Structures are given as C-alpha cells and as structure tokens.
Amino acid sequence: MPVPGILPVNKPEGIRSTDCVGSIRRILGRKIKTGHGGTLDSTASGVLVILAGQATRLSNFVMELPKVYEAEVAFGSATSTDDASGDIIERLPWEHVTDAALDSALCAFFGWRMQRPPAVSAVHIEGTRAHMLARSGQAALPDAKPVCFLDIARVSRIDENGKVNLRVACRKGTYIRSFARDLGRRLGTAAHISRLTRVSSGPFGIDRAPRAEEVFSMSREELSAALIPVASLCDIFPCYEADGRSFESLSHGQRISLEGLKRRLPLLPHPLRGRVIVASDKIFSICSAHRKGGSWELAPEVNILAEGETEQ
C-alpha cells in the first residue's frame, strides 16, 4: 500500500471533519493511522487535508501552512456562532457601509493582530471546549490570541442584501468567523459569515481535491493510489539530498550540518520558508535550521522512514 500519503479532500457543508477522517480510516483499514492537517467547521466547505500512515506525523506541520478562504460576509446582523448556523442576536443598520469604506477597513486587519475566537468554537476554556460551555448556557468568552492575515481582498461589490465576497489568506489559528464579526464592528454595524470555503491549504488547492462523496465511494486500492507521496512537499520547501551520513544522523534524531548537502531545485520560484526538508529514498525529514558559527545545522523535527528502515 502506497502509504504514508496525503490526500486533500473537498469537504461539503454539513459534514464534520472528524467524520471525513473516520470514513477514510474505515476504507484504508483501522490499522492504518489516519488524521488531518487542520479541521474545517461543519458549516464550511473546501480543502481538508487527510494524512495517512506515517504522514500523520506531519499534522502540526501541515496545520502551520498558510490557508486561503473565500468568505461571504453578511452585514446587518450578528449571530451566536458568528456564522449562519447560529441564532441572530443583534440587528444593526448597514446601509452606510460602502465598498470604499470596506476596502479601507480591511487594511486595518493586515499582519499580526489579537483576535478573540468565537464563543462557539473548539478552543479550550479551563479544560472544556468553548462550544460545550456555550451550548450548556454557561458564559464562554475565549481569550484573545495572536493571528496573522497575509492578504485580504474584496472580490465583489456589496449587494442589495448587505453581502460581500472576500478572499482571505491567513496563518494557523485564524477564525474567519471572528474576522467577520470584528469587521462589522469596525464598520459600525454587525456582521457574520454566511458562506465559507477553504480554497487552499499550503500547496493543496481545491481544484485538485476530489469531492468527499467521491472519496467515500472508493475502494481501498483506489484510495491508496490517490494518496500523494509526502515527498511532494520537496517541491515547495527548501530541500536537500540526504546522503548516507546524514541519513544515519537524522534517523537517530541527531543534527546534521548544512554544509556539503546537495540542494534540490524547488518547483516554485519562491519556496515557502520556515523549515528545511532533507530527503532520499530512505528518509523524509523536516528540519529546523540553527546557526552554528559561520554555517547552519539542521535539527530533525519529523522523520518519516521508508518501509524496512529502522528508527531509533
């Protein structure tokens, strides 16, 4: 079976991310570890990255990849969940909001800022999920945390119903529902997300993600064949060849010197930063770089070894 592997799935609205993972696990077999690289709300659609086999070790790494969303924001009303699934808790006039005013307001969200997650969310408050507290009638106000918006663009005019389409690129932990809520307040009205689609997670785009219902109808062999090898990440990150000496060191969790390693040319002209990959037919290692004297050392954070290799 060609695992470990990665499979971006186009999840529809109304299905939980954990249910998607569970369905795929049942097809591959319960002995095959199956996970994800960042959940999507059940009310949202789009790219859900499924990880199989040893690729589940990449979960935190994939979660850190930048995400791009297409969001429909509805001005004039706030909801208990900050999206269309909640009860309307406030109505305010929105007709004073113009395209120009919206464009100006969006500029204030670029870069790092503090954001308070929705009251109905998966964040923990003293050990309990916020959504569990909220739905039990208890006060649930998650602490604000730092998030980062890489790009925000208006892709439509505000229509006669107070709705507008935005394209948002952000980093891990950003809630688009909270963004809509805060955007409404900045414009002197209320707002919520009326539709949300994740169009990409790092290099995994919705245009190459099979629909969930197609995946669920696959056989074990078909699904295994659809998995993308983890080595595909070498095309988007700085990547070096693992020779015999570096393989031995990395497989034992030891640092290696960057000096002397052969560089692989990336597929993208501007590869993503933050990690370095060292790979061969025996190992796929995600490393962090550390300065040592006039050179660099690479410390393995995640090692995925080829079948038959041993890891100490």
- Average pLDDT for residues 166-174, to the nearest whole number? 95
Residue 217, token pair as written in the block: 């109808």
41, 82, 83, 182: the catalytic one is 41
| One domain for residues 96 and 172 | yes
Regarding whether 146 and 126 lie in a shared domain, the answer is yes
* Claim to verify: residue 151 and residue 38 sit in the same structural domain: no
Q: Is 159 a catalytic residue?
A: no
What does the pLDDT read at residue 116?
92
- 142 and 30 part of one domain: no
Q: Is the pLDDT of residue 93 over 60?
A: yes
Name the residue with higher pLDDT: 101 or 118.
Answer: 101
| Res 124: pLDDT | 46
**Which amino acid, 146?**
P
The closest of 44, 74, 213, 219 to 156, measured between CA atoms, is: 74
- Give the domain extent around 14: 5-65+203-228
* Residue 112 or 270, more confident: 112
Domain for residue 312, yes or no?
A: no
Q: What is the CATH number of the domain that holds 207?
A: 3.30.2350.10
Residues 43 and 95 in one domain: no
pTM of the model: 0.89
Question: What is the rounded average pLDDT of the residues 154-161?
Answer: 98
Domain assignment present for 117: yes
Q: Please, what is the average pLDDT of the chain?
A: 90
What percentage of the chain reaches a pLDDT higher than 90? 76
Number of compact structural domains in the chain: 3
Note the pLDDT tens digit of each residue in 186-216. 999 999 999 999 999 999 999 999 999 999 9
Q: Measured between alpha carbons, how far is 118 from 106 in angstroms, rounded to an integer?
A: 20
Instruction: Give the pLDDT band of residue 267 (cuts 50, 70, 90).
Output: low
Same domain, 53 and 85: no
Residues 133 and 155 in one domain: yes
Query: Would you say residue 127 has pLDDT above 60?
Result: no
Question: Residue 44: inside a domain, yes or no?
Answer: yes
Count CA atoms within 13 Å of residue 285 on its CB side: 28
**Pair (83, 190) in one structural domain:** yes
pLDDT more than 70, % of the chain: 88
Is residue 310 a part of any domain in this protein?
no
Do the domain assignments include residue 311? no
One domain for residues 17 and 122? no
- Give me the torsion for CA of 199, 20, 84, 144, rounded to 10°: -80
Do 40 and 80 fall into the same domain? no
pLDDT at 223 over 50: yes
Query: Is residue 178 domain-shared with residue 30, that is, in the same domain?
Result: no
Among the candidates 201, 217, 243, a domain finishes at: 201
> 243 burial class (0-12, 13-18, 19+ CB within 10 angstroms)?
middle
Is residue 236 domain-shared with residue 281, that is, in the same domain?
yes
pLDDT at 134 over 80: no
